[in-house]
Structure 1
């Protein structure tokens, strides 16, 4: 029977998936270098809205699958963060401000008319994964948060440099999310390290994080393919 990794080696295996994160995707490289047209950037924002909508539901699924009250209490904070106390606050509200900042109308974002089939398929697959897999795997999939804060910080700097036409009010989403993601990723990693203690659980966690990286890259494939169509 395979022996579990030490805590340090397990953490290192998870961090090793950094190279599969979506920041190396050709579309993101173009997005950050100033190579995207306004319609391409708007398409990215409109398609990411569908992913934003999924987050509360996938987090609720993780909570529903988890038998541990202490984990549920910690994870439930994510629901309030994303949905906000009302329609004018929270991650979803901030994303709609971003949509307006890049020239989209709220109605054309919320009715999902711009969502590519591939994006819908990838996001729905991620939600289904979190609904049907053990809660530890859903939590492990969320460890892309380890890679996102620095990436988002670079995005804001790049957009301010290359896309001066974007209303600065739109950066509120990233300004709020970056410190939250740093905090959440540390807590999420601790949960995975604490609760994935067998070799099988550790391997499943690594595969869950790899799957999430593929979901994100598949989303960009769809956005990139349809950007000029």
Structure 2
């Protein structure tokens, strides 16, 4: 592999999303198209909470590794976005409200009660990746934000159109996310572009982005296996009221 121009490198990153981002997963396509049962939507929200709750821990780990104050300040905003500036604010709070609107008890969601084992493994793998891999790769793993804004819009419009048990209020987590993701990816992408100086660097960045896509894909594989046609719910995992 030879060193790619900035334009070709960015195109290679976008190609990862075109091939591997989780909007291509059959479970997500069913979710957006109104083909999931209420129990599947519940399971998706519950398991996704485990991922959402890990994001500030992941970001705090990364901030501790950054030597550039400007990048630390930019990355710190992600903590505020998710944790809020006070109790009752932030993305995690809004996701908890989504879970509550679907019938879950807040304390059970926070305790990860009923979360799939595979979800736990996938989330832990992501946090550990950011903690342990070279900083360039850790930053690059966040670049799925290149692909998320349009997917979020499709998700919200599809779910509102097809499920009478969700509302704009219950999906309020997604209101701010397209703008936040677009802002966040600017600093991450600038860092990656500036610090990918060799073909090996560029290859590592692409591999890190592929890994993050694999994390999200694995979570949906687990949901599909447990709550889709196969119906193999692991012991201790959430059991929908009616299947």
TM-score, normalised via structure 2 length: 0.90
The residue number in structure 1 matching 2:16 is: 17
Hey, what does 1:161 align to over in structure 2? 161
Could you tell me which residue of structure 1 aligns to residue 5 of structure 2?
Answer: 6
Gaps of at least 5 residues in structure 1 are: none
Local SS of the residue matching 1:113: coil
How far, CA to CA, are the matches of 1:78 and 1:195 in structure 2? 21
Deviations 1:151-183, CA, capped at 9 Å, x for gaps: 110011001110022143112100011211122
Q: How do 1:118-157 residues align onto structure 2 when only pairs under 5 Å count?
A: 118-157=118-157
**Structure 1 counterpart of 2:97:** 97
Q: Distance in 1 between matches of 2:219 and 2:147?
A: 17
Question: Is residue 54–residue 123 contact of structure 2 (8 Å, CA) maintained in 1?
Answer: yes
Does the 8 Å CA contact 1:101/1:167 hold for their aligned counterparts?
Answer: no
Structure 2 partner of 1:39: 39
Paired residue for 2:80? 80
Q: CA-to-partner distance for each residue in 1:113-147, whole Å, 9 max, x for gaps?
A: 12100010011001000000122211111011111
For residues 58 and 155 of structure 1, the distance between their equivalents in structure 2, rounded to whole angstroms, comes to 25
| Partners of 2:151 and 2:108 in 1: CA distance | 27
Question: Do the aligned residues in 1 keep the contact of 2:144 with 2:212 (CA within 8 Å)?
Answer: yes
Query: C-alpha separation between the residues in 2 aligned to 1:185 and 1:104?
Result: 32
| Structure with the largest fraction of helix | 1
Mapped to 2, the partners of 1:182 and 1:68 lie a distance apart of: 21
Q: Distance in 2 between matches of 1:103 and 1:169?
A: 15
Per the alignment, residue 202 of structure 1 pairs with 202
Contact 1:10 1:202 in 2 (8 A): yes
| C-alpha deviation, 1:81, in angstroms | 1.3
Aligned-residue offset at 1:3: 4.3
The separation in 1 between residues aligned to 2:199 and 2:4, in whole angstroms, is 7
1:158, 1:208 → 2: CA distance? 30
- 1:4 deviation in Å? 2.3
Question: In angstroms, what is the RMSD of aligned CA positions?
Answer: 1.3
Could you say what secondary structure the match of 1:170 adopts?
coil
The whole-number CA distance in structure 2 between the counterparts of 1:98 and 1:91 is 11
CA distance in 2, matches of 1:98, 1:178: 18
Provide the aligned length of Structure 1 versus Structure 2: 228
Q: Secondary structure of 2:136's partner?
A: helix
Which residue matches 1:190? 190
CA distance in 1: counterparts of 2:203 and 2:66, whole angstroms: 19
